[in-house]
Amino acid sequence: MLLKHSVFFDALFPAGMNAGATMDNADSAFALRRMVHFALPLSTVLNEIPLVIFDTETTGLDSDLDHIIEMGAMKVVGGKVIDEFSSFVSTNIELTQNITNLTGITQDMLVGQPAMADVLPKFLQFIKGSIIVAHNAEFDMAMLRSAATRLGYELNWPCFCTMKLTRKVLPGLPRYNLDTLAEHFKLTFEARHRAVGDVKVLNSVLQEILENEELGVETWGDVSESVVQ
């Protein structure tokens, strides 16, 4: 069972608990706090395991001081989207005009939205049993880990970075940001610098790479050099 290769098997079904048993909310929250690692055999075929491509929009670039204001993700198996995740996140940090200009997100759009304390557990459930993927993943993972730490979670979940991966398998491009990759693969954005809009393009970029046998990206081991801890 795929889940047995994931930390979620130990986290969700601690010793002595029947895997078919149910847990109340308190037990579930406690189990999620135990997430400390994620491990898969290097031979794991990427097209045979759920890949969660995700993106965050934030109040700024400092993972210690800034907060996530939007999260978007798509769960993909064998190139097919099987589920999506999208949520604004309320924050007490005032958005700068630069952030609003970049993302199109205004302070009013965050009023009444769920807090990270509500959003993060749902996202962690969404990624269970999955490899997570992001572009410039060091930034998104830093923001995600900081959000988790503030809420008492210990999150050590490796994520492979498509910026690092494309630098390796597509040498010679002038840049490796998402705009350049979209242009390279002739893709268009529904909404640039919005979490779901960026995720959709990133998924298309990733599928182009996985479907090109000449690039040799097939297994977890093939992307190991692109992993962000």
Query: Hey, which residues are catalytic here?
Result: 193
Residues in CB range of 28: below 8 A, 6 or more apart: 12, 121
- Measured N-to-C along each axis, helices 162-169 and 195-211 cross at an angle, to the nearest 10 degrees, of 30
Amino acid present at 135: H
- Measured N-to-C along each axis, helices 116-127 and 137-150 cross at an angle, to the nearest 10 degrees, of 120
